[in-house]
Structure 1
Amino acid sequence: MTRRVAAATLLRCGKGNYSEQWLFRSPRVLAVVELARAFPAWFALLLGCIVLTAIWPAIFAALVAHLITILPVAARSSAAVLSTLAGIALVLAAQEVTRAAYEVVRWSLYRRYEEHLIGRVIRAALGASTLDIFERPNLAAKTDRAVRIAGLEPGDLVDGLSMKWPLQAQGVAAAVLVATVSAPAAAILFLVWILVGNRLQASMRRSDQFTWEDAVHAASYTHRIGLRQEWAKEVRIFGLSDWLSDRYGRQTARILAELAKSRKVGQRPLAVLLALVVVANASVVALATRSDLSVGAVVLLLQGMLGMSLLADQAGDDLIEYGASRVPVVLELEHLVSHHATTHSGTASASGRPTESIVFEEVTFGYPGSGKVIFDRLSLEIRAGTSLGIVGLNGAGKTTLIKLLTGLEVPQSGRILIDGTDLREIDQESWRKSVAAIFQDFIHYGMSARDNIGLGAVEQLSQPVIDQEIERSAVRAGADAILGRLPHGLDTTLSPRLESGVDLSGGQWQRIALARSLMAVQGGARVLVLDEPTAQLDVRAEADIYNRFLDLTSGLTSVLISHRFSTIRRSSRIIVLDGGQVTEDGSHEQLLAAEGIYARMFRKQAMRFSANAEEDIDG
């Protein structure tokens, strides 16, 4: 199915008038077609180098055979001998020049093709404006597979072709040499070696079909657990080192066993074919000894016979299969994004919005495949310029509501209105510029401090005054002291993985993220969201971040989510989500007076925090 979808996608995109029957039959064909389509000039240069690589050995063999023929009857200094030797020297020189040019072409095409294919994955993944391809069960696995596989050196296809095709071309050239001596012998040997090559290739493909099964993915995952920095502490604390090593050994042993098993399937037919090779070569040798061939012709025949064995050489075959396997999954990802991902087609501008309100009008939503409805005809109004605090138990839909608000998810029914305009009718990119959100799992960009803050208004990064804007946002977010301690200021890379990089504490990262959101405000954002980004901080540090956020966003529309009620009590309005509905709505004081869920949860949490504070004092 993957190959057929990929082929159909290629055809629909107008990227070539290729027969779908051939395209989906083999990933190799699909990959080579894509390579030639993407880089026709470089591909033509590669083919030209391959032809020359095949021609020079054949010419060399013919010249050597000619030299052997004329030496007995010609003086060593005769013009015929000298010209033949000069020709041999020129061929050897031409071989070296071709080899150098071939390496340049191969490397250039390798890099271009790899960047091209990985770039297509990036564009496809980023082209999905919603999170469908990452969250829908039927799409997420395919997306993950495409992203994972495409990143594993797709340029290996070029390396494989650069190894295999020259050998096969030399085999064809050798067949031509044999044909000049005996056409029947050339035809017989050609047929036999092609059959042997096809059998070897079929055996290799059977083994590759297994190696891309879940077993390889599982082994790779075990490998990553043992080596990744973020898992290093727990692996050592729980003493998992030996267990992981044994597990990886068993997984790789199973893969190798299946590999060997799959290759045994074709051993008997291959043995028969190899016996035919022996018989065919012996017959040709017998022909040479019984006929009146010259010494030069016999040498030419024997060299050609040896060269024809290259027709069955599988060098580079595994790299071709390995690299070609990337193309169908990449094309399928593009197909998924274009045909299955939910997109908006609105054109209305969101600039300056909201000025009145954001309204959820009987919104129903559930994640496809989960069998659970998160919101059932939810209705909610958020007045522009106010702050809204959202609380609820885990799974109540707090983060889902933010995804709907930001356009990362789309309601199955109902509408989200921005100043009375359906969000579906608003240009999505324009709306995203009007919203800034800091999620619990916000990104720690392994980039410069300048980029970590400036990406909140990415279109301003190239402006001359960007550093001043970044520093202003940092001051407002309380991150200026952090920047002041960095060894290279805004140019300091915030990553411990680099020798010159610097890592930050959790609280420092929170302030960098807050500064980034404030940069978005300078870029035109009018809705700001905090979705529990401070969950790992202590109560005082979290309260400080939220209080600063509310002070800085006064007059803007802000939405705050926190599992600690003390941090959102200053919000203009607080709602409680439960069972897909807003069950309580009001200010902190109003909700306490109502003696409902909010009041009970707030008092229970306050008692726990008070007890912890007393323990800290006693300690």
Structure 2
Amino acid sequence: MAGQDDERGHDERGQDDERGEGDERGQGASAPATWRRFARERVAQRRFAARQLAELRGYAGRGLVAGTVAVHLVAGLAPVAFMLGTGLALRDLGSDAAIGWLALAAGAFLVQQLVAPVQLVLSRRVQRRVDAACIERLATFSLRGASLAGLERPEVADRLSQADEAFEQWTLTPGAAVEGALALTARYTQLVGSLVVLTWAAGPWAALAGALVAIIARLGQTEAFHRWGDVIRSLAPLRRRANYVRELATGTRAAKEIRTLGLVDWLDDRYVAENRAVLDTLWTRRRAVYGAPFVAYTVAALIGSVIGLLVVARADVDVAAVSVAVQALILCGRFGVIFPESDVKLVYGRGAWQALLELEDIARRTGPEPAAAAPGARLTPQRSVRLDDVRFGYTTDRAVLDGLDLDLPVGTSTALIGVNGAGKTTLVKLLTGMYTPQSGAVRIDGEDLRTLDVDAWQAAFAITFQDYLRYELPLRENVAMAAIAHRDDDEGIRAELERVGLGSLLAELPDGLDTPLTRALPGGRDLSGGQWQRLALARALFAVRHGASVLVLDEPTAQLDARGEAEFYDTFLELTRGVTSLVISHRFSTVRRADRIVVLDGGRVTEAGTHDELVATGGQYARMFDVQARRFADEAGAGSPDEPDDPFDHSAAAGAGATGGAR
């Protein structure tokens, strides 16, 4: 990707320079050597920044950029023309020429007022074009270009948070950086014009003094801004922690627990502590950046300004020339102020772009780059899906899956059980291609998934994860998310809602399928935990209706009551007939209906067979089943004497199989 190699090279050069500079200082390096190293480092940084901005500028389009630069040039020349016109009018006061010079000044002033809104419109258009391209790039990469393992890395999360924050505010974005860079055209045009006028009015020495004042003042400002941008980027982890606590305190996601558990004071103290961690560091580093160094630059610029004024005062020129020269020197001195249209946008906006490049680089290096699937492409297994001697771990010191072999014949149902941490959910992530095995392979009809189109493979899945999402969208989209191209299939959506027991809910909603499932929107309604889980099941079944051939359900009935669970599994085999299905569950009332049951332990499959076969062998499955059966029998005996003898009978009570020990 353009810019990444340069960035890594720049980072490495920066680290080498810092180490070298530290070594020289430790050995008593001379001041000239230190300043040479400093100058080389800053030149490299500015060249790198220029390459980044050039890449971003391409998103705006040549025509728009050229037009914007031309308007900025006019805006920069207008104050110079005004300054020259007023000065010469003063010189020729009382003559006909003064009227012409005053007309020039008035025209320049009028042009400046007319150009200002045009500058704003064109600049905003540049920003919008660049930001639209960057947002598309960020979204495309996050959803398609990065592996899940890459996105879960903390350094990627820090940079993603920085990029997201920029686009949420819509002010300090990569597009704003391009806008700010182009706006410097007016400033530097004004400076060059002022130096030309100063040379004419008071001679080259006055112009040299003005140029030195401008360069020193600008260098001090840009150096401070550059260092401050590094400070802001270095605080990304602390700021992410503080933002998380703030969102936790102000959002509705955790509001019930915060209030019922009495966590308000604790959360308030935590918020203060996290923000102090950011602000204390910020204030300390700010004093270092804007303290002594900034005073030194200010004093140097002030001395240069005094020298320039003395040169003008000693020059043998008339009062008009002196007036023009003084105005030009003042403009040079103003290069030490912050340019609101450029400086902040350049530092923070380019920082957001750099964060985007870095997160792409880091995330991509953690795994293979997925191939792009054709729209609607789906890879359907014909014979079997197999995990062959798969080894995988999130850290190098612990393998979650260690030599796992598992065969999923097409058209059959498989149930997967195991204790907590056995790797069941990790297995699903590997099966779907979200993670890549460190050794071994996931094979589809004998072909290694690494050689196939992962997007097309994932399109074959209908999945309900244990932590399924609750979309704050209308009911229609909540069901159709698994096959969004068919969101207008009202008949299919209604049918799946009926199959999972939500037909009565649909009749109660004021706007039917178009009712938002959130109280935060007008006319919206929230659902109970059990209703949300049924909705997640309807989403998976809707995907099967529209062609998904592999169904994965991770604890699909965890939030359903006993009757709801029993009803669902009574019809489960009918709902998934001909579909390759994998069900993960704690409850043996669920797994005993599968064609094949697999026990996962120690990262491997330790037992496999039907329910009757596994009970007969007396292994781990039989012991876990016995625990649940005895617990249910105890609970049934303590409740109603009319409860059925079979703890996993197809009844409302049967679905209440306890959850002890099965995960």
TM-score (norm 2): 0.81
Query: Is 1:111 paired with 2:128?
Result: yes
Amino acid at match of 2:346: I
Deviations 1:159-203 (A, max 9, x none): 644666544443333333222212211211211331132123323
Amino acid at match of 1:357: S
Query: Is 1:63 paired with 2:85?
Result: yes
Q: Which stretch shows the higher mean deviation, 93-102 or 263-272?
A: 263-272
Mapped to 1, the partners of 2:589 and 2:47 lie a distance apart of 61
Q: Secondary structure at the match of 2:397?
A: coil
Q: Secondary structure at the match of 1:113?
A: helix
* One of 500, 506, 519 as aligned partner of 1:477: 500
Deviations 1:490-533 (A, max 9, x none): 22222333234332222222222222222222322111110114
Distance 1:129 1:34, change over 3 A: closer
Aligned residue for 2:25?
none
Query: Is 1:98 paired with 2:115?
Result: yes
Deviations 1:521-563 (A, max 9, x none): 2322111110114323334333434444333112222111111
| Deviation for aligned residue 1:325 | 1.1
Aligned residue for 1:15?
none
Deviations 1:425-468 (A, max 9, x none): 4432332222211111122222222222222223334xxx6333
Count of aligned pairs: 595
Q: Which stretch shows the higher mean deviation, 284-293 or 576-585?
A: 284-293
Mapped to 1, the partners of 2:379 and 2:551 lie a distance apart of 13
Contact in 2 for aligned 1:53/1:95 (Cα 8 Å): yes
Q: Which stretch shows the higher mean deviation, 512-521 or 478-487?
A: 478-487
Contact in 1 for aligned 2:205/2:311 (Cα 8 Å): no
Amino acid at match of 1:603: D
Distance 1:290 1:584, change over 3 A: closer
* One of 431, 452, 464 as aligned partner of 2:478: 452
Contact in 2 for aligned 1:124/1:333 (Cα 8 Å): no
Mapped to 1, the partners of 2:570 and 2:581 lie a distance apart of 12
Query: Is 1:323 paired with 2:349?
Result: yes
Contact in 1 for aligned 2:81/2:104 (Cα 8 Å): no
Contact in 2 for aligned 1:477/1:514 (Cα 8 Å): yes
Aligned residue for 1:126?
143
Q: Which stretch shows the higher mean deviation, 574-583 or 480-489?
A: 480-489
Contact in 2 for aligned 1:51/1:169 (Cα 8 Å): yes
Amino acid at match of 2:137: R
Distance 1:352 1:262, change over 3 A: closer
Equivalences for 1:10-29 in 2 at 5 Å? 28-29=49-50
Mapped to 2, the partners of 1:159 and 1:278 lie a distance apart of 30
Q: Secondary structure at the match of 2:387?
A: strand
Mapped to 1, the partners of 2:42 and 2:316 lie a distance apart of 50
Contact in 2 for aligned 1:43/1:109 (Cα 8 Å): yes
Aligned residue for 1:486?
509
Q: Which stretch shows the higher mean deviation, 231-240 or 56-65?
A: 231-240
Distance 1:416 1:21, change over 3 A: farther
Q: Secondary structure at the match of 1:151?
A: helix
Query: Over aligned residue pairs, what C-alpha RMSD do you find?
Result: 3.3
Aligned residue for 2:217?
196
Aligned residue for 2:53?
32
Aligned residue for 1:366?
392
Aligned residue for 1:521?
544
* One of 195, 209, 217 as aligned partner of 2:230: 209
Q: Secondary structure at the match of 1:381?
A: strand
| Deviation for aligned residue 1:40 | 3.5
Amino acid at match of 1:7: E
Aligned residue for 2:163?
150
Aligned residue for 1:14?
none
Deviations 1:205-236 (A, max 9, x none): 33333333233333323322322221223333
Distance 1:203 1:419, change over 3 A: closer
Amino acid at match of 2:612: E
Contact in 2 for aligned 1:133/1:341 (Cα 8 Å): yes
Mapped to 1, the partners of 2:128 and 2:69 lie a distance apart of 17
Q: Relative CO higher for 1 or 2, CA cutoff 8 Å, sep ≥ 6?
A: 1
Q: Secondary structure at the match of 1:229?
A: coil
* One of 568, 584, 596 as aligned partner of 1:573: 596
Distance 1:217 1:337, change over 3 A: closer
Q: Secondary structure at the match of 1:224?
A: helix
Mapped to 1, the partners of 2:543 and 2:486 lie a distance apart of 10
Distance 1:132 1:313, change over 3 A: same
Contact in 1 for aligned 2:177/2:347 (Cα 8 Å): yes
Mapped to 2, the partners of 1:457 and 1:365 lie a distance apart of 32
Contact in 2 for aligned 1:117/1:150 (Cα 8 Å): no
Deviations 1:130-157 (A, max 9, x none): 423134xxxx123212321111222442
* One of 173, 194, 216 as aligned partner of 2:193: 173
Equivalences for 1:163-562 in 2 at 5 Å? 166-182=186-202, 183-212=204-233, 213=235, 214-265=237-288, 267-316=291-340, 317-343=343-369, 353-361=380-388, 363-461=389-487, 466-562=489-585
Mapped to 1, the partners of 2:178 and 2:249 lie a distance apart of 32
Mapped to 2, the partners of 1:203 and 1:347 lie a distance apart of 47
Structure 2: give runs of 5+ residues left out of the alignment.
11-40, 167-172, 642-663
Contact in 2 for aligned 1:397/1:580 (Cα 8 Å): yes
Mapped to 1, the partners of 2:193 and 2:517 lie a distance apart of 57
| Deviation for aligned residue 1:3 | 8.1
Amino acid at match of 1:279: I
Amino acid at match of 2:427: L
Distance 1:259 1:50, change over 3 A: farther
Mapped to 2, the partners of 1:69 and 1:163 lie a distance apart of 33
Contact in 2 for aligned 1:449/1:493 (Cα 8 Å): yes
* One of 591, 604, 627 as aligned partner of 1:604: 627
Distance 1:5 1:601, change over 3 A: same
Mapped to 2, the partners of 1:63 and 1:93 lie a distance apart of 13
Mapped to 1, the partners of 2:598 and 2:623 lie a distance apart of 14
Q: Which stretch shows the higher mean deviation, 60-69 or 250-259?
A: 250-259
Mapped to 2, the partners of 1:315 and 1:530 lie a distance apart of 57
Mapped to 2, the partners of 1:431 and 1:318 lie a distance apart of 45
| Deviation for aligned residue 1:309 | 1.9
| Deviation for aligned residue 1:347 | 9.8
Mapped to 2, the partners of 1:352 and 1:311 lie a distance apart of 61
Distance 1:379 1:246, change over 3 A: closer
Distance 1:178 1:350, change over 3 A: closer
Contact in 2 for aligned 1:5/1:332 (Cα 8 Å): no
| Deviation for aligned residue 1:64 | 1.1
| Deviation for aligned residue 1:338 | 4.5
Mapped to 1, the partners of 2:240 and 2:378 lie a distance apart of 45
**Percent identity for Structure 1 against Structure 2:** 33
Mapped to 2, the partners of 1:129 and 1:35 lie a distance apart of 21
Contact in 2 for aligned 1:125/1:337 (Cα 8 Å): no
Amino acid at match of 2:114: V
Mapped to 2, the partners of 1:7 and 1:244 lie a distance apart of 39
Q: Secondary structure at the match of 1:93?
A: helix
